[in-house]
Amino acid sequence: MTDQEMLQLVDQIRETAFAVHRYFGPGHFEKGYENALVNRLRKSGMTLDQQRTISVCDEDGTVVGEYVADLVINNELILELKACECLTHAHECQIMGYLRATKYRHGLLINFGSRKFEIKKYIL
């Protein structure tokens, strides 16, 4: 995927996630936001996996564990979803750790739980 295509994908996800946030507002569980986002992204024709297990590898390629990504879009972009008062440094470390330990280069961290919608893009 080219950089331009990735930017277009991120824009579409951002707009869709913001629409979910506007509709539901803060105060719901993360799973509810996740399901609403999945529903809307699939209706737009996007290819995605929900709760995909991803192997975490050491530098020599040895699998040392697994983690479950909230969403993986087009097998290129990890979405980590939160429903909390505000994003913290620990949340940022989490998404960067996932990117470092997997083959993915791009990640989005989205928080539906605060009054102000939060979304951050990360590139490894």
Pick 3-123's CATH classification: 3.40.1350, 1.10.10, 3.30.70, 1.10.12: 3.40.1350
Whether residue 88 has pLDDT greater than 90: yes
Question: For the residues 74-79, what does the mean pLDDT come to?
Answer: 94
Residue with tokens 């470092």: 100
Q: How far is CA 32 from CA 7, 38, 49, 98, 101, in A?
A: 26, 10, 16, 23, 27
pLDDT over 70, % of the chain: 100
Q: Cβ(108)–Cβ(13) under 8 Å?
A: yes
> What is 106-120 written as a DSSP string?
EEEEEE-SSSS-EEE
- Average pLDDT (96-124) is 93
- Model confidence band, residue 77 (pLDDT cutoffs 50, 70, 90): very high
Is residue 73 predicted with pLDDT exceeding 90? yes
| Residue 57 CA: distances (Å) to CA of 54, 63, 122 | 10, 4, 20
According to DSSP, the residues that pair with 54 across neighbouring strands are 67
pLDDT of residue 56: 85
Domain residues of the chain, as ranges?
3-123
Is the model's pLDDT at 58 over the cut of 90?
no
User: Residues 103-109: what's their mean pLDDT?
Assistant: 94
